[in-house]
Amino acid sequence: MNDYEDNYELQYYFNGLENLTQFLQVVEEISAETGMSDWVMTHRGIRMAYCWQDAKAVIKGAMTEETYIVRNRLPEVG
């Protein structure tokens, strides 16, 4: 019997991005390439879930970064 949970974690660290919109563009590309969709992101100390519909809206300028944060913010860990 396996005593390990089937939980895995993959962390990416990005430098040089100017704002949440650029961050979401990178995450969207990784999501499209890998097929992964259940992301927990941290941007400037704020934990958020990745929502592809909201991310697309931010990238297109139809939603503000602030609205994305409010809609997708997760509780702090620890």
Q: Check pLDDT > 70 for residue 40.
A: yes
**Domain, as residue range, for 54:** 20-72
Contacts 24+ apart (CB under 8 A), 43-49: 46/73, 47/73, 47/74, 47/75, 47/76, 47/77, 48/72, 48/73, 48/74, 49/74
Residue 5's pLDDT is what?
65
At residue 3 the predicted structure's pLDDT band, cuts being 50, 70 and 90, is low
In a domain, residue 32? The reply is: yes
**Is the pLDDT at 2 greater than 60, yes or no?**
no
62-65 — which CB contacts under 8 Å span 24+ positions? Answer: 65/19, 65/20, 65/21
In this structure, is residue 1 part of a structural domain? no
Q: What integer is the mean pLDDT of 39-51?
A: 93
Total domains in the chain come to 1
Within a domain: 65: yes
Assigned domain for 8 exists: no
